[in-house]
Chains A and B, each alone.
Chain A
Amino acid sequence: MSKTISVVNYGTGNVKSVVAAMIKLGFNVNYTDDPNLILSSDAIVLPGVGAFKYGMENLHKKGLVDTVKYFAQTKRKVLGICLGMQLLVDEGHEFGIHKGLGFFDGQVISLKNFASSADKLSLPHVGWNSIDTSEKGSHLFDANNGSRSLYYFLHSYALKTSSKQDVLAYTEYSNISFPSIIQKENIIGMQFHPEKSGEIGLNLLKKVLLE
């Protein structure tokens, strides 16, 4: 019997591949903004491309903030991808300071602000890059699914946090390093696009959602 996944529709576009990946992996998939449907799922995915401010505004407008928070409390899996990962955090600093969902400590800031030497960084960070898994993250990877494999990134902002225990993997871009996978209990975030990272990405999605 396959799990039901709700991909949360909060109007951030470009979600087709996320939905297609879920279908490909054999899940029953809803792409929905209906709180009842979301709350009755086995797991939810928060996708997203775009700015933190608009992401949170849209979630609020659709009345989904409480739904997502409640769902997380029930200990069922919540996966945030790209902007979706960023919204899981305390605060975002894109176009002003905005409150996020608050599951993780830290702020989402421009990659240029990660270090004083980073101001010349070419943005967005776009293309294939590798991830460096800490021991905490090793459960996500196995012989078939390399932890040093390449994933597809497309973003200009990332999480700056001092809570190292939440970080499962880091990625280096030029002279800076940022979290590429974060996890706290049932809530997990990926800064890259697993649904655009080939079979390796699909394998990771499968592992995470079936855990």
Chain B
Amino acid sequence: MLTRVISRIDVKNEYVIKGIHLEGLRKVGDPKQIALQYYQQGIDEILLMDAVASLYDRNNLFHIVNEVTNDIFVPIAVGGGIRTSYDIDKALQVGADKVAINTAAVRNPKFIAEASRFFGSQCIIGSIEAKSKGKMWEVYVDNGRESTGINVVEWAKQLEQLGVGEILLTSVDQEGTKNGFAYELIRQIEQAVDCPIIISGGYGRPEHIKMLAEAKSLSAIAIASALHYKLETVTQIKHSLQLLGMEVRI
């Protein structure tokens, strides 16, 4: 299958925000307008993440998804504060195709198994926030705020067994830096699981993706800073990927 280019849009209340290492949030603009812009430029999917789900009323994101799906006709995933089957159902009702679940899965892995059975594994993305600790990586929850002591590679395997359709892998160390991906982390996760992996955190320029292409088949890349700060357009990124010999949707 083709490599999907996904735009990751983190939202705090009514604004798209961007931080570094999931902190220091800066307002970037209006979620719907930004999503529409990327859609018009040919983005393959949109990932809407609620950056402050545990602190504020998470209904805010469903309202945005509902509006976004009136005008944007590519797959939409939503994450941040998805805790119950009701949340998943609501997300799908307002037009999301998939939900990304992190904290709730760590607190109660059975939730993933049940959700995957009921809604279908293709709807369920297991979201992992990974921060390096010595030679390994630790699972973080609550949008990079809380450490868990859990080994990321082991957790990824478990998520796959529980029935997630995909894994969203975010490197807390790399995200926001535009310095490239967490290559060793990605390599280890790719060896550990068979399901598609959406790689998030660290994209700065096309060469960064080229360095990944030496790995297994590249399923999807989620890009935030490079797009939000207008370093490149979706069209430019895809064109560069093509020149690097990768198959993308143009």
Residue positions of A touching B, CB distance < 8 A: 13-14, 16-17, 20-21, 23-24, 49-50, 122, 124, 126-129, 150, 152, 154, 195-199, 201-202
Contacts and interface: CB of A to CB of B under 8 A. Distances in A.
Contacts of B89: 13
A121 to B, nearest CB: 12
Q: Tell me if B's interface is mostly helix, strand, loop or mixed.
A: loop
A191 B1 CA distance: 17
B4 interface: yes
Contact of A21 (B44, B73, B97): B73
B4 A202 contact: no
Contact of B120 (A50, A122, A152): A50
B122 A128 contact: no
Contacts of B249: 128, 150
A17 B69 CA distance: 6
A129 B108 CA distance: 35
Contacts of B39: 198
Contacts, number: 63
Contacts of B1: 127-129
A154 B97 contact: yes
A17 B71 CA distance: 9
Given A49-B120, A126-B165, A150-B2, A16 B71 contact: no
30 contacts: A16-B66, A16-B93, A16-B94, A16-B95, A17-B95, A20-B73, A20-B95, A24-B70, A24-B71, A24-B73, A50-B120, A122-B194, A124-B120, A124-B165, A126-B122, A126-B165, A126-B196, A127-B1, A127-B2, A128-B1, A128-B4, A128-B249, A150-B249, A152-B74, A152-B75, A195-B73, A196-B74, A196-B75, A198-B42, A201-B73
Given A14-B92, A17-B95, A49-B120, A199 B73 contact: yes
B74 to A, nearest CB: 6
A152 B6 CA distance: 14
Nearest to A126: B122
Contacts of A13: 89, 92-93
B73 A202 contact: yes
Contact of B2 (A24, A128, A197): A128
Interface string B87-123: 0010011110100000000000000000000001110
Contacts of A23: 70
